[in-house]
Amino acid sequence: MTENGEQRTGNNEEASLAFYSGALPRINRFMLVLGPAATVGVFLAVGWQFGIGFLVGCAIAYLNFHWLKQAVGALAERVSQTGQSVSGRGVFARFLLRYLLIALAAYVIFRVSVAGLYGLLAGLFLPVAAILCEAIYEGYVSFRRGL
């Protein structure tokens, strides 16, 4: 704020842009911290079968998030540089491969243990938990810094 009550926007917008552009790396770090911490808690609270399934679910969710981020980045890069539309086959094939991986892991774990399957399904929510942590962090920072 200036002396006469007007808000400065130039510097504040730059700070906001710099802060919010770091959301994806922060979500990645949240997943790398939440996954192992929650896995230890699950092993202790629920048992090893649920815990193994949870660990596998977290690993699949992390890989899925990473691959999805790469695919969207590559898609945006190709469209912005060439101005051409991108082939839907490759995008669809990678999309399908991700979900086939999840289905295969679910089938294998289901054959071994139903509790493991429940753990797998719970572990797949790792990105949701990381995004929730990021939202809370962004709310806190924007309140404290006025972004």
Asked whether residue 118 is domain-assigned, the answer is yes
Q: How high is the pLDDT of residue 85? A: 63
Short-list 129, 136, 141, CA closest to 28 = 129
In a domain, 96, yes or no: yes
CA distance 97 to 79: 23
1: in domain? no
Number of structural domains found in the chain: 1
For 88-127, the pLDDT digits (tens) are 677 677 778 888 888 888 888 888 888 999 999 999 999 9
Q: Which long-range contacts (CB under 8 A, 24 or more apart) does 143-147 make?
A: 145/15, 145/19, 146/12, 147/12, 147/15, 147/16, 147/19, 147/20
> Does some domain include residue 92?
yes
Q: Which domain holds residue 122?
A: 23-145
3-state secondary structure of 132: helix
The model's pLDDT over 3-19, given as tens digits with 9 standing for 90+, comes to: 444 455 557 788 788 88
Residue type, 96: L
User: Is residue 15 one of the residues assigned to a domain?
Assistant: no
8 falls within a domain: no
Q: Is residue 13 part of a domain?
A: no
For 21-61, the pLDDT digits (tens) are 889 999 999 999 999 999 999 999 999 999 999 999 999 99
Domain annotation covers residue 10: no
Q: Is the pLDDT of residue 133 over 70?
A: yes
Residue 145: per-residue pLDDT: 79
